[in-house]
Amino acid sequence: MAVVHILLALVLLSTTYVCSSLAVPSSDAVLIVVDQSGKGDYRTIQGAINAVASNNSELVYISIKPGIYREKIVVPADKPFITLSGTAGTNTTITWNDGGDIFDCPTVSVMASDFVAKYLTIQNEFGTRGKGIALRVSADRAAFYGCRILSYQDTLLDDFGRHYYYNCYIEGATDFICGNAASLFESCQLNSLAKNLGTITAQHRNSPSENTGFVFLGCRITGLAGGTVLGRPWGSFSRVIYANTYMSNAISPYGWHDWDDPSKERTVYYGEYRCYGPGANRSKRVRWSRELSRDESAPFLNKTIIGGRSWLRPTPTHFKTHVK
């Protein structure tokens, strides 16, 4: 029955947003260059985003030259099909310093569908004082490649929609990947800064009818020894799966936390499949987490869980100049 339940949920998940899908533009893209030195089209990233027409129907590729961009960025909901691309995650940084309300403080807020980010560091320098979101993703069909997402608490607000993270580095201490999206994290590094009582995920699924959850496939977990759990339930039906993932001794032996609400132990879905490393030993795991079988894990081991074949797209191969 567990396998049937999972398969049914994932079939529904892959079709959740079909009615809102937009026609994918051609592979040609409008090129906009951001360069702080003044040699591009705009000096600021937000300036380049503002230049995109509302209800845009073309691919827009915003190429960001290396530098530290001290900006608070919003990609509005009426500007789909935008790509923000640096040249390397270590030399192109968007940073801000704000905390408090999780919807107001993010350094970068993605509100538009069909968004892509590549080779960027997205950082909130608020530190250990409280919630300081680096990246908020509140839109369907968003993908992130080779990005570094850095803060301390609630680093990534993976709010809603279908999302894909590939080869990203995500760092924090408390609930540093949180929200209620349906997301696949593939080949990512999750680094915990916590000295004790750290939490990687706080997934917010509130009912079994919500086709959401976080899947970590082939990832790597690092950090200080013994102080971090894999997740705790923000929502009563929180769903998180780790598969083929290396877990260092940063992960505590009991693995998961119920957020001091034992009633959620009956409704969460926390699974592990073929994970390895000193933190993957399940001999002392909480009994309400699951060691998945091959059949139970199968639906989570590819991009089908986010319907990726219908919306993940290659980098544009032909560009045309942006006309101001």
- Please enumerate in sequence order all residues whose Cβ is within 8 A of that of 261, keeping only pairs 6 or more positions apart, or say none: 233
Measured over the CA atoms of residue 89, residue 94, residue 97 and residue 102, the dihedral's sign is negative
Q: How many CB atoms lie within 10 A of CB 23?
A: 5
Structure tokens that stand for 247 in this block: 């877990």
The residue among 225, 229, 223 whose CA lies nearest residue 286 is: 229
175 belongs to the catalytic site: yes
Separation CA 73–CA 44 (nearest Å) = 10
**Are 82 and 52 a contacting pair, CB within 8 Å?**
yes
258 belongs to the catalytic site: no
Per annotation, catalytic residue among 140, 154, 158, 159? 154
Separation CA 84–CA 123 (nearest Å) = 15
Per annotation, catalytic residue among 175, 258, 260, 261? 175
**Are 128 and 155 a contacting pair, CB within 8 Å?**
no
The residue among 94, 108, 83 whose CA lies nearest residue 31 is: 83
Q: Tell the burial category of 44 from Cβ atoms under 10 Å away from its Cβ (0-12, 13-18, 19+).
A: middle
The CA-based diameter of the chain, rounded to the nearest angstrom, is 62
Residue carrying structure tokens 């083929």: 244
Q: How many CB atoms lie within 10 A of CB 3?
A: 14
**Are 241 and 297 a contacting pair, CB within 8 Å?**
yes
Enumerate the active-site residues: 154, 175
